[in-house]
Structure 1
Amino acid sequence: MRQNIYEFIQTNEDMRNYLRVQPAWYKRLMRNPHEVDVFETEAKYYFEKSIPHRVSKFSESVQVASMMLHMFQAMNAPGE
């Protein structure tokens, strides 16, 4: 494996763990080192750290906060 790719994987814990889970990438990166971008993208999707995953997590957090706010307002509302 090329030294620069090896160093990239060693410095990023998620990439190391993904390589352990998907060992076929060892061979693939040795034969096609230019596919390191594809490897990184797949690892991000695997660990749910891609932009769509982050947006959905943020959206869920906002929904939970909104629900909590409505519950708090309902509890403090005068008896109806």
Structure 2
Amino acid sequence: MRQELYNYIQSNQDLRRFIREQPHWYRKLTRDPKQIENMQIEMMNYYQKTIPHRVSGFSQSLQLVEMMIGMMGSAIQKD
């Protein structure tokens, strides 16, 4: 693997962890270093760090908060 690519991967904790969990990417990058962009996209999907994943997580958190507020409101009204 090229030294600059190796240094780039070592500087990013998520990429380093991903390449350890998915060793086929090490082979791909050794053969074709231009595949780093594809690996980053796959890593973001794997760790659910894309914008749609984050929006979904935020939406689920918001729904949970709304449900808790609703439950507390109904508990207060019963008293």
TM-score by length of 2: 0.89
CA deviation vs aligned residue, 1:11-50 (integer Å, no higher than 9, x gap)? 1111111111111111111111111111011111111111
Q: What is the SS of the residue equivalent to 1:6?
A: helix
Which runs of 4 or more aligned residues in structure 1 lie more than 3 Å from their structure 2 counterparts after TM superposition?
Answer: none
The number of aligned residues is 79
Aligned to 1:34: 34
User: Is there any run of 5+ residues in structure 1 with no aligned partner, and where?
Assistant: none
Q: What is the SS of the residue equivalent to 2:48?
A: coil
User: Is there any run of 5+ residues in structure 2 with no aligned partner, and where?
Assistant: none
Instruction: After TM superposition, list the pairs within 5 Å mapping 1:57-72 onto structure 2.
Output: 57-72=57-72
Identity %: 42
Q: Look up the equivalent residue of 1:15 and give its one-letter code.
A: L
- How far apart are residue 68 of structure 1 and its match? 0.6
Q: Look up the equivalent residue of 2:38 and give its one-letter code.
A: V
Indicate the RMSD between aligned Cα atoms, in angstroms.
1.3
Aligned to 1:43: 43
- How far apart are residue 69 of structure 1 and its match? 0.8
Cα distance between partner residues in 2 of 1:12 and 1:35: 16
Pair 1:33–1:74, CA change in 2 (3 A):
same
TM-score by length of 1: 0.88
